[in-house]
A and B are shown apart, each in its own frame.
Chain A
């Protein structure tokens, strides 16, 4: 359940504070009820006070509105059970609380925002940029005889290239818009000058302050910065606010016909780019996906809240093979998944979709990567295809992973073992089945999953050779939706009792009685343990024994077979030989 309940935009101008826009039109709390105000019987004092009567009236009015969501003229609008006028009041704080994180919790709803002052002329507020713009504008006005539209546009356009690294189209369009804006209300600009705006998200955090702070850091501060920039540069917020308010006024003036709240919202969303932008952001946050918006066709914003608990990918591309560095790199790989040349990149959506969500100034190499990448190619192959370095490729991959566009998997292979993932979202099965059937009408999702319930190489469940490609695509689908996970084989080393007991020293074994001993980390074996290992090895032919001794450091349950094969540059067959020859001394475990 997303903790975000809604988004509000409050503007403070010389006309006072106003709740300009709120979305959605009918926000719902995730828990708790809207509190009914005033419980008359609670106090001993007699309840004939004007305030109580007033509130009584108000609640009656509220009841009149009924479930059809129609708005009557006398109704005060409500948002989450709060009157909008009340909200705009409490959410326009005094100057001392502005230009920093603002947070107000009323009962169980938290409002978090960044009230932003727009005074350009007030010294000491640190609005250097705002002052600079104003100065330039004044200078331009002085230069021109009359403060007409053209003169006031000039500073804007002249500044554009330096300020915004944007696409050509976006830039010209924006400046045209701004020209239009400045031309019309130029005189009235001083009349209701916007002095403050506050973009607020209403939340019911499940996890206390952390969620609120995440929201503030990753979403609110970024949009607010963009909006402030656009307002100072082109008067964006004021223009859009007037537009939204005029649509609202128009709707409310029609007293005769009842206007549905959703109709008003539709009109606002159709008319105002700012409203549309905020609604888009709200929708993608509540869907737990990243949002990509372009504020006023000018500022490109990519927003998302990084998931808690996910660890950053480690980008180190140092080759690791010596057993000396093994330990460090292995412990690392548990904490941060390390990218490996045998890994592959699995896009979580179709390439076209991913490309569409990218900003306009995307790196060409990234576009190329998205176009050609398939989960059957490992990074090593991609490197040659794209003609770039591995570390460059890792960076691009990490970027896509961070933005929830891709994930890192072992390169898909028929020999790999896949089983239904422990966290497979089976509760979403009806939806997934539908999606699956659209893609693979000839197949059946539960049947595939049933086939993948026992661990065996993927090739075993493919009925014919011709179906190979199809089954690979199916596997891609399953991996994308976290329905299956690859099982890896891990190896432990156990010295049998027959060898332990031969050693004369054997303090450890004595204390534990006659038993086999597992060496937790053969890379750090003691002298006695090394002696045992050697003894185990010399029961086999020398070639095999030497390979065994080379691989023993990995038999600590920390490296899976794929990793060992990659590091020691072996074939899987070599390893299989070792494992079968030494099956008395190794314990294998299949782990996800």
Chain B
């Protein structure tokens, strides 16, 4: 996952449960007729004659409610035939009751498993959504979802229940979280249900996992506390529709997508009914709100509420190390307020593009681990980029992407502005550089006495960076001091734009005759670093050393100061470069050079990568 691609649309949501006599069945589904099932349709046909007509009646009444024709202000002329169906739906007659599907022209097809959602559904959705996602209807002509083929994964054996289960069918991917509630009050001593989200087959559904889990958990506790599902669900319950007051409540949550007259009509029709929204309504609202707003909030009763929100998922940020330097690329101090995380608020003012994570931790008096985590968070949200500690002994090289710089006038202007030395007023710049002598670069570029420095010069300076040449040597070779270029910012620009990379120095132990430390001066490993894993912990805990004079001899004179040699040796295996080691031992590269050359002469090689 390179970049966030947007949330894949939910094509359908359905609620399935284990019916005591009919087995696994789909009780509610939005949009209607999305699923086909031989048993379900059979049950529908027989429902009036069955011993248990109640569930079907209720599911129907829900559907009837769902398909209430909103007073369409200006129905498009093209949908006139559909409007007649709407009218038919609006006035429930006894003839409708046995098979609701028969109402729609495609009712017959529905039983054969070809889904063509009724026009009424479409219109209604169009009416509700002012800023609807365009892809929402594209799938309405696709194949139906055959419930029978997947029922064993939707209402599964106990081993799968209370787990997140994703099953793919030829056309769809179904994300669900089957739930089992065991209790003597149920007909079979258990209630098995599952709310399933249907997606396109190739949809990236990870963002929905939390939503599906949470919805299952919420419904479970609703059922356990109030019997919400068993009373409102089709299986064995009583009430089915929502009251006007709750409707209004829901409508408020919908950010005004309902027209007022609809509410009034609902109010009229449902005034006598119970005070909770049905599951069918809830699923419908979840489907619409998640697709339109990526979140939804549905009050269930005075105490409970369904709150769902989708969060974009980005790739995990890479690990952050103590020796890395975060650079803010967003001005966070402007957006930061007192409600932010305390550690973050301490850290952010100290991120200046120069301090390493370790240094920031020291300055802010925060555990380095916390700083690493905080920086990783900033990295995740794209607020910082990571560069390395700038030193004049560093080596950098260009990548082939530098050619791109030649074609971008914007970047050329940016680089010139970014690297210009700011301390010096322009007048002095002019006068001094006018006198700039004998630089080869000067001869090449003519008089480059302007501020900012000409791009051609900067480009040739970048190209002059190569493996094996330290920044100091590069400055020397190209007389960079005379050019009024802020070298640190010059390097930083290249790193941030990715056409420059750091070449690290890796010390590697080569002595083949195993253990040489005996020849070295005795190693006064201090008490706090006496364990086998000594190294960092001990050194970090030790009082701050005096870096400029960190010689082995001196360390001997100061017993509490541990000598890193023995510890150091284990890191000379190609996994740690100078930046890492220096940060770890809190010394400068020169100190490390001395330690490595004095103590173990000739047995360390330096590989630059």
Residues of A within 8 A of B (CB): 35, 37-38, 43-45, 47, 49, 51-52, 55, 82-83, 86, 89-90, 93-97, 100-107, 110, 207-209, 334, 419-422, 424, 426-430, 444, 446-447, 449-450, 453-455, 487, 490, 492, 494, 496-498, 500-501, 512-518, 520, 556-558, 584-585, 587-592
Closest to B510 in A: A446
Any A CB within 8 A of the CB of B149: yes
Task: Give the CA-CA distance A494 to B461 in the complex, in Å.
Answer: 13
Any A CB within 8 A of the CB of B206: yes
Task: Give the CA-CA distance A500 to B152 in the complex, in Å.
Answer: 78
CB contacts under 8 Å to A, within B411-452, are 443-450
Chain A residues within an 8 Å CB radius of B399: 591-592
**Interface segment, one of B259-267, B463-471, B530-538:** B463-471
Answer whether A424 and B168 are a contact pair too, CB < 8 Å, given A430-B573, A494-B444, A514-B446: no
Residues of B within 8 A of A (CB): 1, 146, 148-150, 152-153, 156-160, 162-170, 173, 180-183, 189-190, 202, 204, 206, 220, 224-225, 397-400, 402-403, 406-407, 443-450, 454-457, 459-460, 463, 466-468, 501, 503, 506, 508-510, 573-575, 605-609
Task: Give the CA-CA distance A104 to B165 in the complex, in Å.
Answer: 7
**Min C-beta distance of B207 to chain A, whole Å:** 11
Q: List 17 A-B contacts (CB under 8 A).
A: A101-B168, A104-B167, A105-B165, A106-B160, A420-B607, A426-B607, A429-B573, A450-B508, A450-B606, A453-B608, A487-B467, A494-B444, A496-B444, A514-B446, A515-B457, A557-B400, A592-B400
- Does A429 lie within 8 Å of B508, measured CB to CB? yes
Task: Give the CA-CA distance A47 to B182 in the complex, in Å.
Answer: 8
Give the residue of A427, A429, A516, A520 whose beta carbon is less than 8 angstroms from that of B457.
A516
Task: Give the CA-CA distance A105 to B609 in the complex, in Å.
Answer: 42
- Does A103 lie within 8 Å of B182, measured CB to CB? no
- Does B159 lie within 8 Å of A86, measured CB to CB? yes
> Across chains A and B, which 4 residue pairs bring their CB atoms closest together, nearest first?
A497-B446, A454-B468, A96-B149, A429-B574
Give the residue of B149, B152, B204 whose beta carbon is less than 8 angstroms from that of A90.
B152
Chain A residues within an 8 Å CB radius of B503: 422
Q: Which of A82, A89, A106, A501 has the most CB of B within 10 A?
A: A106
Chain A residues within an 8 Å CB radius of B468: 419, 453-455
Chain A residues within an 8 Å CB radius of B445: 494, 496-497, 515-516
Given A90-B160, A422-B503, A512-B454, 12 further pairs, Cβ under 8 A: A37-B162, A49-B190, A86-B160, A94-B148, A426-B506, A453-B607, A490-B400, A513-B454, A516-B457, A520-B406, A590-B397, A590-B467
- Does A83 lie within 8 Å of B460, measured CB to CB? no
Closest to B461 in A: A587
Chain B residues within an 8 Å CB radius of A490: 400, 403
B interface SS class: mixed
- Does A589 lie within 8 Å of B609, measured CB to CB? no
Chain B residues within an 8 Å CB radius of A588: 463
- Does A426 lie within 8 Å of B574, measured CB to CB? yes
Chain B residues within an 8 Å CB radius of A90: 152-153, 156, 159-160
Answer whether A446 and B508 are a contact pair too, CB < 8 Å, given A496-B444, A501-B446: yes
Task: Give the CA-CA distance A452 to B564 in the complex, in Å.
Answer: 28
Chain B residues within an 8 Å CB radius of A102: 168
Task: Give the CA-CA distance A492 to B153 in the complex, in Å.
Answer: 63
Task: Give the CA-CA distance A584 to B403 in the complex, in Å.
Answer: 19
Task: Give the CA-CA distance A426 to B608 in the complex, in Å.
Answer: 10
- Does B159 lie within 8 Å of A82, measured CB to CB? yes
Closest to A498 in B: B446
Chain B residues within an 8 Å CB radius of A96: 146, 148-149, 169
Answer whether A520 and B467 are a contact pair too, CB < 8 Å, given A103-B167, A497-B445: no
- Does A424 lie within 8 Å of B609, measured CB to CB? yes
Answer whether A589 and B402 are a contact pair too, CB < 8 Å, given A89-B157, A487-B467: yes
Task: Give the CA-CA distance A422 to B160 in the complex, in Å.
Answer: 47
Chain B residues within an 8 Å CB radius of A556: 403
Task: Give the CA-CA distance A450 to B159 in the complex, in Å.
Answer: 58
Task: Give the CA-CA distance A450 to B609 in the complex, in Å.
Answer: 10
- Does A97 lie within 8 Å of B165, measured CB to CB? no
Chain B residues within an 8 Å CB radius of A97: 149-150, 169-170
Chain A residues within an 8 Å CB radius of B189: 49
Closest to A518 in B: B456
Chain A residues within an 8 Å CB radius of B148: 94, 96
- Does B575 lie within 8 Å of A518, measured CB to CB? no
Closest to B606 in A: A450
Answer whether A105 and B164 are a contact pair too, CB < 8 Å, given A518-B456, A587-B463: yes
**Min C-beta distance of A172 to chain B, whole Å:** 41
**Min C-beta distance of B482 to chain A, whole Å:** 16
**Min C-beta distance of B408 to chain A, whole Å:** 10
Task: Give the CA-CA distance A550 to B379 in the complex, in Å.
Answer: 48
Chain B residues within an 8 Å CB radius of A426: 506, 574-575, 607, 609
Answer whether A55 and B158 are a contact pair too, CB < 8 Å, given A492-B406, A591-B398: yes
Task: Give the CA-CA distance A219 to B168 in the complex, in Å.
Answer: 19
Task: Give the CA-CA distance A207 to B204 in the complex, in Å.
Answer: 10
Task: Give the CA-CA distance A492 to B458 in the complex, in Å.
Answer: 13
Chain B residues within an 8 Å CB radius of A516: 444-446, 448, 454, 456-457
Task: Give the CA-CA distance A83 to B159 in the complex, in Å.
Answer: 9
- Does A517 lie within 8 Å of B225, measured CB to CB? no
Chain A residues within an 8 Å CB radius of B164: 105-107
Chain B residues within an 8 Å CB radius of A589: 398, 402, 463, 466
Give the residue of B168, B407, B606 whose beta carbon is less than 8 angstroms from that of A520.
B407
Task: Give the CA-CA distance A93 to B159 in the complex, in Å.
Answer: 16
Chain B residues within an 8 Å CB radius of A494: 444-445, 456, 459-460
Q: Which of A93, A429, A446 has the most CB of B within 10 A?
A: A446
Give the residue of B173, B397, B447, B460 whose beta carbon is less than 8 angstroms from that of A587.
B460
Chain B residues within an 8 Å CB radius of A500: 446
Task: Give the CA-CA distance A512 to B448 in the complex, in Å.
Answer: 11
Closest to A449 in B: B607
Chain B residues within an 8 Å CB radius of A89: 157
- Does B609 lie within 8 Å of A420, measured CB to CB? yes
- Does A444 lie within 8 Å of B510, measured CB to CB? yes
Task: Give the CA-CA distance A496 to B190 in the complex, in Å.
Answer: 86
Chain B residues within an 8 Å CB radius of A420: 467, 607-609
Give the residue of B150, B183, B449, B455 whose beta carbon is less than 8 angstroms from that of A518.
B455
Chain A residues within an 8 Å CB radius of B1: 207-208
- Does B167 lie within 8 Å of A209, measured CB to CB? no
Chain A residues within an 8 Å CB radius of B508: 429, 446, 449-450
Answer whether A515 and B455 are a contact pair too, CB < 8 Å, given A420-B607, A455-B467: yes
- Does A104 lie within 8 Å of B190, measured CB to CB? no
Task: Give the CA-CA distance A556 to B510 in the complex, in Å.
Answer: 43
Chain A residues within an 8 Å CB radius of B169: 96-97
Task: Give the CA-CA distance A23 to B450 in the complex, in Å.
Answer: 70
- Does B459 lie within 8 Å of A514, measured CB to CB? no
Give the residue of A55, A93, A487, A558 whose beta carbon is less than 8 angstroms from that of B403.
A558
Give the residue of A107, A208, A428, A449 whose beta carbon is less than 8 angstroms from that of B163.
A107
- Does A421 lie within 8 Å of B182, measured CB to CB? no
Task: Give the CA-CA distance A107 to B169 in the complex, in Å.
Answer: 18
- Does A492 lie within 8 Å of B459, measured CB to CB? yes
- Does A453 lie within 8 Å of B400, measured CB to CB? no
Give the residue of B180, B455, B457, B605 whose beta carbon is less than 8 angstroms from that of A449.
B605
Chain B residues within an 8 Å CB radius of A520: 406-407
**Min C-beta distance of B514 to chain A, whole Å:** 14
- Does A422 lie within 8 Å of B501, measured CB to CB? yes
Closest to B603 in A: A446
Chain A residues within an 8 Å CB radius of B149: 93-97
Answer whether A587 and B459 are a contact pair too, CB < 8 Å, given A97-B150, A516-B445: yes
Answer whether A453 and B182 are a contact pair too, CB < 8 Å, given A90-B152, A515-B450, A516-B445: no
Chain A residues within an 8 Å CB radius of B153: 90, 104
**Min C-beta distance of A217 to chain B, whole Å:** 13
- Does B224 lie within 8 Å of A35, measured CB to CB? no
- Does B575 lie within 8 Å of A455, measured CB to CB? no
Answer whether A51 and B182 are a contact pair too, CB < 8 Å, given A90-B152, A496-B445, A497-B447: yes
